[in-house]
Amino acid sequence: MHSKDHQSDYCFALRQASRHISKLYERHLSEAGITPTQFSILGTLGRYSSLTMVELAEAMVMDRTTLVRALQPLFRRGFVAVPAEGQNNRRLRVVLTSSGLAKLDEAAAHWAAAQASFERSFGPQQAARLQSELFRMTNDVSDR
């Protein structure tokens, strides 16, 4: 086995930080009965009138198979739907339903509590810088 110092492993550090922060958001959002991924999907659909599966997958930085798995419980609970005019197999459209919007509104308070908790522990300026760098890095890396 190859010995590697985790202190110099960017991937390990990012994954570890991601798991740590995800647990914080999972704890808060579980009170609304949804996961952080589901909250992000509902929030993304809430910003647009509708998105194709391809557009939603790109916005979520997910492959289509993973997105379909994440959407299944949202479809079952009636939070998202495929309108009749959006059922073209080549460009399947997904929309946020009124109950999905209600769930998003309910979960927003729990998400805000998770945000505040993270900012308290990490520092508001550091959190803002981290977010900016992560989005910059995602945009830079995804273009390669």
pLDDT in the model for residue 84: 76
Domain spans in the chain, listed from the N-terminal domain onward = 33-142
Which three-class secondary structure state does DSSP give residue 32?
A: helix
Contact 94, 81 (CB under 8 A): yes
Contact 59, 20 (CB under 8 A): no
Alpha-carbon distance 45 to 34, whole Å? Answer: 15
Of 90, 79, 86, nearest in space to 46 by CA = 79
pLDDT in the model for residue 88: 61
pTM passes above 0.75: yes
Residue 93 phi/psi, 5-degree rounding, is: -100, 145
Mean pLDDT, range 125-143, rounded to an integer: 82
pLDDT in the model for residue 10: 86
Tens digit of each residue's pLDDT (9 = 90 or more) over 71-94: 999 999 999 999 876 556 567 899
Range 33-142 classified under CATH 1.10.287.1080 = no
Alpha-carbon distance 62 to 18, whole Å? Answer: 15
30-34 own/partner pairs: CB under 8 Å, 24+ apart: 31/110, 32/103, 32/106, 32/107, 32/109, 32/110, 33/103, 34/103, 34/107
**Confidence check: pLDDT of 1 > 90:** no
pLDDT in the model for residue 7: 72
Q: Which residue has the tokens 């009170």?
A: 31
Tens digit of each residue's pLDDT (9 = 90 or more) over 2-51: 556 667 788 898 899 999 999 999 999 999 999 999 999 999 999 997 89
- Tell me which amino acid residue 97 is: T
pLDDT in the model for residue 92: 86
Which three-class secondary structure state does DSSP give residue 82?
A: coil
What's 83's DSSP letter? -
